[in-house]
Amino acid sequence: MRPSGVDSTTGPGSSLPPASPAPDPERADSRRAVVASLLLIGAGAAAYASSLTVPFLFDDSTHILHSSRIERLWPPWSLLGSSFRPILKLTLAINYALGERDPFGYHVVNAGIHILSALTLFGVVRRTVAGAGFGDRVLGGATGFGFAVSLLWLVHPLQTQAVTYTIQRGESLASLFYLLTLYAAIRCANDTNTARWGVVAVVVCALGMGTKEIVATAPLVVLLYDRTFVAGSFAAALRQRRWLYLGLASCWGVTVATVGRDLALEHGTKGMLGDDLVSPVRYLLSQPAILLHYLRLAVWPDPLIFDYGWPAVERGTEVVAPAAAILALLGLTGAGLWARRWWGFVLAWFFLILAPTSSFVPLADLAVEHRMYLPLVSPVLLAVALVARSLARREVLGGPVAALSLGAVALVLAGLTVSRNREYQDLVVLWSGVAEHRPENHRGFLNLGFALSDRGRGPEARRSFERAIELRPGYVLAHFNLANELLGDDRLDEAIAHYRSALESEPDWVALLGNLGVALRRNGQSREAVLHHVRAVELEPRSVRSRHQLGLALEAAGSAKAAVESYRAAIALDPGHAASHLALAQRLSVLGRGSEAIAHYRAALRRDPGSARATNGLAWILATHPDAAMRRPGEAISLARRAVEATEGRAASALDTLAAAQASAGDFEGAVVTARRALDEASSAADADFALEVAKRLAGYEHRRIYVDGG
């Protein structure tokens, strides 16, 4: 007999296995979500590994390379209270604290922010689809649909400017906070612990508004989401989550506190850049064509252009067709919102996020690709929804075809992203693309000139600067940098003409005054050079460079004592300034004050041990000082040999010094041989005066007489 209550079909010896527990759909979906998240992390890392070696460029110079503000992380409240976009600056300060100005660390953080944004987007879309009851009607379910949207958004090449261009971390970081605000608000509406998620939403919203102004529309988007997908009406949303919306609205205070400084910065970008802001009306009328361009890039991301230099509209006829298209989209958006359609919210997402930068508030750049970073969600989501709906009709092939289609599109987009990141690694390639695709963009040719100049391709750099001036006559930076190239080629008259052109617009630019002074001094116009250097010192009295250049000009103008004082002033400001120590030592040596000169030569060599001029100058005094107690023949020979090696034995002055040092040490035979080499080099250089001096000293060595300077 079997025990009572035992089913004979499941006992020992039964041919049927024990019944397995029913599968848990939620647990299975959670596992799929974890796998999807890991795949997103891997895809993001693969797509942006090529961005980690991209150098700093363009505005990175102002905000990272030459910013002293990010050098102080502690106390953090001083940074948060005094800088525009303080949260962005705080992250840059953290990067600086960890790795100073190595671009690698900054790019790692940027890529990490982008991946976190994709994961947050995945959470938002997945919960929305599941919560709205679409999960069983969407191909791949809520998790699959959310993964598809997030993956394509993550690897889309249109995102590269916001991720790879370091300072545009402001866009990606603000977008992360924007997405986190919406995610926390969704959890606030659907989870049991609403208070906790409400606090999270308010905190991340405030952080976002302290990062960039685009987050100003986040409270409106949250309210619109609530009305569309949860509460059913604005009144119900405000009634049910009153404290959440009061908290989100209070975050606007952060934007109000920083927006003045932000606008001041934007207005400050004109002037030397030559980019005057257009009127709000022209800015607004220019945006419809730009918005259509953004949408085209979402579908066909080619060509991507780092700096558009998009011109404002000039004629009303230019506006009609683009404005009609955008108004139609706005009408469709309004209809969708009125009917509480999901696609109405998705379209509104696009317009609301772009509103702060693509409406009537004029900014220096009418169009830039990084503004599409978060709005790109809209076209990607609509495209995925359209394809998924089409494939879902083929029930047999739908799943496999969807997976293969997603994989193929993602691979193509990721490949384009990797390729675009490689273009960022080569600034000549990056700016050549701007010049090619936007041939009327003066800034493109200016920056192409910078890149070519850094590569040592001077003639091409000059042509780029000249083209920038043709496109925008009076372009200060183009005149200045063209003049710098001409100065480097000793085309002094041309350089001076371009410096003067720049000076007409920027009479108080210290670097310009200094370079013009250098060109004038080298052109024999030393007295005028002094005037420009004096003005530079007046404008920046603590500029070591200006003090040093003034000393050189005074010396060339015959004011030796004033030059000495100017060098001393430069050294007082920077005791380690090698060039001023060297110039002062040379001038003191000429004035017969060799003992003082020795100290300054040694100071110059402490900062710049490889300086052949300082090495040779010190060796000369130690070999030829009129006071025998000050002469150091052994050290002079060692120093002079270093100078000869540094000049590869072709500098007559270094050979002359070595000969004097050898004679001072009693090696007259060696002195004669070396002096003859010096005479040959001086003769080859057609320096007749110096050759005559060497010949006189050679005659003394042949008669076993040392040379004493001034004796």
CB atoms within 10 A of CB 360: 13
pLDDT more than 70, % of the chain = 91
From the list 510, 545, 553, 552, the residue with the least C-alpha distance to 528 is 553
Is residue 137 assigned to a domain? yes
Residue 686: the pLDDT is 85
Which residue's structure tokens are 């108080």?
Answer: 508
Q: Please state, in angstroms and rounded to a whole number, the distance separating the CA atoms of residues 547 and 663.
A: 39
Confidence of residue 394 (pLDDT cuts 50, 70, 90): low
Mean pLDDT for the stretch of residues 329-335: 97
379 in a structural domain: yes
Q: Is there a domain that residue 4 lies in?
A: no
The answer to whether 259 touches 361, Cβ cutoff 8 Å, is no
Cα separation values, 460 from 58, 433, 439, 454, 502, Å: 19, 15, 16, 11, 21
Kindly state whether residue 426 falls inside one of the protein's structural domains. Answer: no
How does pLDDT run across 659-703, given as a tens digit for each residue? 999 999 999 999 999 999 999 999 988 889 999 999 999 999 999
Whole-number pLDDT of residue 395? 55
Sign of CA dihedral 89, 92, 94, 100: negative
Residue ending a domain, among 420, 442, 475, is 420
Sign of CA dihedral 581, 585, 588, 593: positive
* Residue at 65 is within a domain: yes
For the chain, give the percent of residues with pLDDT over 90: 79
The mean pLDDT of 216-225, rounded to a whole number, is 97
Separation between Cα atoms, residue 463 and residue 443, nearest integer Å? 14
In a domain, 124, yes or no: yes
Provide the phi-psi class of 608: left if phi over 0, else alpha when psi is between -120 and 50, else beta.
beta
- The answer, yes or no, to whether residue 4 has pLDDT greater than 60, is no
Q: What is the mean pLDDT of residues 412-425?
A: 97
CATH number at residue 710: 1.25.40
Alpha helices in 360-491 (DSSP H): 377-392, 398-425, 427-437, 442-454, 458-471, 476-488
Structure confidence by residue, pLDDT tens digits, 266-321: 444 444 445 668 899 999 999 999 999 999 999 999 999 999 999 999 988 899 99
Quick: pLDDT tens for 534-592.
999 999 999 999 999 999 999 999 999 999 999 999 999 999 999 999 999 999 998 88
Domain boundary among 420, 452, 481: 420
Domain count of the fold of the chain:
2
Q: What pLDDT, in 10s, does the model give residues 652-669? A: 999 999 999 999 999 999
- 670 falls within a domain: yes
The answer to whether residue 329 scores a pLDDT higher than 70 is yes
Tell which of 357, 389, 420 closes a domain. 420
pLDDT at 13: 42
**Residue 393 resides in a domain:** yes
Tell me the average pLDDT across 118-137: 86
Which residue range is the domain that position 620 belongs to? 611-711
pLDDT > 50? residue 527: yes
Residue 131 banded pLDDT, cuts 50, 70, 90? confident
Tens digit of pLDDT for each residue in 606-629?
Answer: 999 999 999 999 999 999 999 999
